[in-house]
Amino acid sequence: MVEVGVALSPAARFPDTPPMTDSALVLFSGGQDSTTCLAWALQRYPLVETIGFQYGQRHHVEMQCRGTIRAALAASHPNLGADHVIDIAGGIAALGATALTSEAEITAGADGLPTTFVPGRNLLFLTYAAALAWRRSLRRIIGGMCETDYSGYPDCRDDTVKAMQLALNLGMQRRFILETPLMWLDKAATWAMADSMGLTPLIIEETHTCYRGDRTHRHDWGYGCGVCPACELRAAGYKSWRAQMR
Ligand code: ZN
């Protein structure tokens, strides 16, 4: 006989099985923000794995920086686990060009967003990350999204990440926790946070932020063209942080 209207307990409706470990998967691009997030996670969780994406980014040099940064952090953090690189370049390219995935000019678009905006990029990243975390029984998914001092990308907003957490938990029947330690920090505060973990030399020398992939021009804040939106944010944040220290 089919019972009608019998409510299932929350645990029965939404089981967290198999139990997930309190370990983390960090979206790690090799940039300043994700490096700071990776170090932050390594201080907190027993096992931290990383995921990165080949999506046809013009600054693919960041993918080379990842290995150097991971090696540096691994020396003092035995809890740094496996790295996973997912190639979604074909899919992204099939959807159309952007200034981040071609040599098109980096400028402000008609909708106010920079032409570097890749629609859905962080939504895809989070979905891939959750699918991997599901398989590896990792509970926490950590990303460097920030809506305080950013380029206006709507998929970096706190509400977007919270909505993704809900959608991923429903769609994969898990209790993932999406963490964004930089969400409410401006760039100066992100520099200060990295410095509090002793990361400043690593951030300056080894992380890559510049959209143009420029690693020939060395500034006091690191390498980059100095004029693209990513360089501007990084440079302004550094200047503001140094000013606050005086
Ligand atoms: Zn640049």
What is the pTM for the complete model shown?
0.88
Say how many Å lie between the CA of residue 156 and the centre of ligand 1: 20
pLDDT of residue 94: 85
Question: CA–CA distance from 228 to each of 76, 209, 224 (Å)?
Answer: 33, 10, 9
Q: What tokens were used for 193?
A: 């946070």
pLDDT of residue 6: 63
Surrounding residues of ion ligand 1, Cβ less than 5 A:
210, 212, 224-225, 228, 231
pLDDT of residue 111: 74
pLDDT of residue 62: 82
Q: Where are the domains of the chain?
A: 21-188
H helix or E strand, kind and range, residue 72: helix 61-74
Say how many Å lie between the CA of residue 211 and the centre of ligand 1: 5
Mean per-residue pLDDT pooled into runs of 10, the chain (246 residues): 61 57 94 97 97 86 91 97 94 80 73 78 96 97 91 89 98 96 96 97 95 92 93 95 93
Q: Tell me the CA end-to-end span of the chain in Å, nearest whole number.
A: 75
Residue 36 burial (10 A CB sphere; 0-12, 13-18, 19+):
buried
Q: Quick one: 21-188 is in which CATH superfamily?
A: HUPs (3.40.50.620)
Coil, strand, or helix at residue 140? strand
Residue of 130, 124, 126, 133 whose CA lies nearest to 49:
133
pLDDT of residue 59: 76
